Structure 1
């Protein structure tokens, strides 16, 4: 519960949001500096501190299933139309992060270990992991068309190599094949859950394209958009494998919330790296969001300190010099730092949700993932 008196100065959005996740009580005389110290103490206390967590490599634990999923996706997309096959398999070359199927597989292992005393992943759960990666990849193909991006994962995008028309079609093709895999599960609830992801992706993209909110609405709009574009896929995929594991409602909700928090943390770090990393590391252009007219968390936080950013945000950084000025103001502000704090809050919330899971290597690996997402550099 959050206690904020009416006469107390309005909290920055990051303070309101992290209060909600950490269960902190904001007293009338708590300064932002003291709040940060309290928050850091709470973040530390969320860790499960298991003996095995430090020894668990999430990717190694799920490697057999991950390898199988990558090969299965390529096999599923192995159409007789040579060019379509080449385009559809273009991003499934083993060079991607495979972050989403990793989370789905580890969640399936942890849930099965909790309820069935076995970490063996069922075929239907593996299929959900496949579907999650295919939906994600289809969205990347379409995003690159919308954003007119030239590189992705250090190589030319589908759009820049084959053209917009074919890129749109191949994105649709990957999505349609994933829908066929979803139908094969013959589970109405799981179909509804994963169909919601596709709706959220479209709604999130529309929210991003038409974003011109007033200052007080921007951060909430950004968080909702981030959930729909990124976190919904992770949250609902985790929920789907929970349903297939016949979990209790409580564990199913915890699985969903874990995926949601990991997804939010992942995107916040992604938005942060757009200001702190280099194109050679990221495998895609940096400052890309500003060039597209998008104000992400570092910019929105910086606007709290540098009011001149508001005019740039409203005109979507379209004037000459706007992008450079915005980068400069973000660098002078606490925007990057506050974005990291918010990502850490989501990471800690994800770890806290695992406390009700039975101890297992998969649970420890999920905790490791929650901390790993904060330290990535691309």
Structure 2
């Protein structure tokens, strides 16, 4: 499998990361500690720290990456996890990664505090990298999360939004963290500015592709494969790429969405209409476009043996559909 090939060069670092995540967020309060442990024990794809570790190897021209790179990978996963805690509250998700969400297991109050605590911990560890450029690059991500969430809330059930608006929102909610983390890794490797910016573009377009694939899976995947309830985005009025493409073909789909799924069978019918349209294929094509831009952006590492892994991780993102 592609994933095994990718993980082979970073398996030890990934193992250490999984161990460190549970200890790195050791909270003094037992409830916060329990909430943090609950989050990281649930696992996950760890796609973001994997990308950070691979970029670190590719920009260092060696397999043995610095402790700062490993810490950045951990910070990236903590920030991502904190954002999921808050997202789950807003979206009223009951499960995540096959287990109860924090607000469902504890309370909404504890979940808000746990998310805030993780953001605070990530900021503290970020500051302790003692690299102002990396701090500036990564710290903007938390602002972007809020921007993305606000944008998403303002356009719920609004089928007049454009694909460009969808891409902008997807950048703020998903791609911003991957892009900033890739650039942060390149900064720590002390490569030239152009290569730092190319690393950013790699992460940005990889992140956009990842989000588009996630949005396709929300309509065709199972709760088990998604790590959260299927069709949750659509139920919440979050109109994603496959839905937006399908809307251009179906007046009936527009009618159902404008009524905000008032009938019990409307969600199933809406999904059926999307499947009958070219929406899923057009969304997949869009994801592939972003993957190609990402691969083009990272060509400066092609003399490094890790370059192939950076291409494979791109393919792995697309293979999640199969």
Same-fold status (TM-score > 0.5): yes
> Which secondary structure state, in structure 2, belongs to the residue aligned with residue 90 of structure 1?
helix
- Deviations along 1:345-368, one digit per CA (max 9) or x if unpaired, are 111221222222142232111110
Equivalent in 194, 198, 203 of residue 147 of structure 2 = 203
TM-score, normalised with respect to structure 1: 0.80
Which residue of structure 1 aligns with residue 19 of structure 2?
Answer: 71
- Please report how far the alpha carbon of residue 318 of structure 1 lies from its aligned counterpart in structure 2 after TM superposition: 4.8
Measure, in 2, the Cα distance between the counterparts of 1:279 and 1:54. Answer: 23
> Which secondary structure state, in structure 2, belongs to the residue aligned with residue 89 of structure 1?
helix
Q: How does 1:335-346 map to 2 (within 5 A)?
A: 335-346=279-290
Q: Which moved more, 1:55-64 or 1:180-189?
A: 55-64
Q: Is the 8 A contact 2:176 2:207 kept in 1?
A: yes
- Please report how far the alpha carbon of residue 56 of structure 1 lies from its aligned counterpart in structure 2 after TM superposition: 7.3
TM-score, normalised with respect to structure 2: 0.94
Structure 1: where are the runs of 5+ without partners?
A: 1-52
Q: Which moved more, 1:361-370 or 1:96-105?
A: 361-370
Equivalent in 364, 371, 376 of residue 308 of structure 2 = 364
Q: Is the 8 A contact 1:242 1:251 kept in 2?
A: yes
Q: 1:323 to 1:138 in 2, by over 3 A?
A: same
- Deviations along 1:102-149, one digit per CA (max 9) or x if unpaired, are 000000100011xxxx33211111111111100000001111111110
Measure, in 2, the Cα distance between the counterparts of 1:330 and 1:241. Answer: 39
Q: Is the 8 A contact 1:70 1:94 kept in 2?
A: no
- Deviations along 1:160-187, one digit per CA (max 9) or x if unpaired, are 1001110111111111100100111121
Q: 1:151 to 1:212 in 2, by over 3 A?
A: closer
- Deviations along 1:86-117, one digit per CA (max 9) or x if unpaired, are 1112121262111000000000100011xxxx
Q: Is the 8 A contact 2:2 2:316 kept in 1?
A: no
> Which secondary structure state, in structure 2, belongs to the residue aligned with residue 273 of structure 1?
helix
Equivalent in 232, 248, 260 of residue 288 of structure 1 = 232
- Please report how far the alpha carbon of residue 196 of structure 1 lies from its aligned counterpart in structure 2 after TM superposition: 0.9
State the aligned residue count.
Answer: 322
Measure, in 1, the Cα distance between the counterparts of 2:172 and 2:107. Answer: 27
Q: Is the 8 A contact 2:159 2:257 kept in 1?
A: no
Equivalent in 92, 97, 117 of residue 153 of structure 1 = 97
> Which secondary structure state, in structure 2, belongs to the residue aligned with residue 59 of structure 1?
helix
- Deviations along 1:42-81, one digit per CA (max 9) or x if unpaired, are xxxxxxxxxxx97971122111111112222222212343
Q: How does 1:119-268 map to 2 (within 5 A)?
A: 119-211=63-155, 217-268=161-212
Moved over 6 A (4+): 53-56
> Which secondary structure state, in structure 2, belongs to the residue aligned with residue 96 of structure 1?
coil
Q: How does 1:4-83 map to 2 (within 5 A)?
A: 57-83=5-31
Structure 2: where are the runs of 5+ without partners?
A: none
Equivalent in 231, 234, 245 of residue 301 of structure 1 = 245
Measure, in 1, the Cα distance between the counterparts of 2:127 and 2:134. Answer: 9
Which residue of structure 2 aligns with residue 329 of structure 1?
Answer: 273
> Which secondary structure state, in structure 2, belongs to the residue aligned with residue 305 of structure 1?
coil
Which residue of structure 1 aligns with residue 54 of structure 2?
Answer: 106
Q: Which moved more, 1:319-328 or 1:153-162?
A: 319-328
- Please report how far the alpha carbon of residue 339 of structure 1 lies from its aligned counterpart in structure 2 after TM superposition: 0.7
Q: 1:204 to 1:319 in 2, by over 3 A?
A: farther
Equivalent in 269, 274, 279 of residue 213 of structure 2 = 269
RMSD: 2.1
Measure, in 2, the Cα distance between the counterparts of 1:176 and 1:282. Answer: 28
Which residue of structure 2 aligns with residue 91 of structure 1?
Answer: 39
Q: Which moved more, 1:148-157 or 1:212-221?
A: 212-221
Measure, in 2, the Cα distance between the counterparts of 1:178 and 1:344. Answer: 32
Q: Is the 8 A contact 1:294 1:316 kept in 2?
A: no
> Which secondary structure state, in structure 2, belongs to the residue aligned with residue 57 of structure 1?
helix
Measure, in 1, the Cα distance between the counterparts of 2:264 and 2:104. Answer: 25
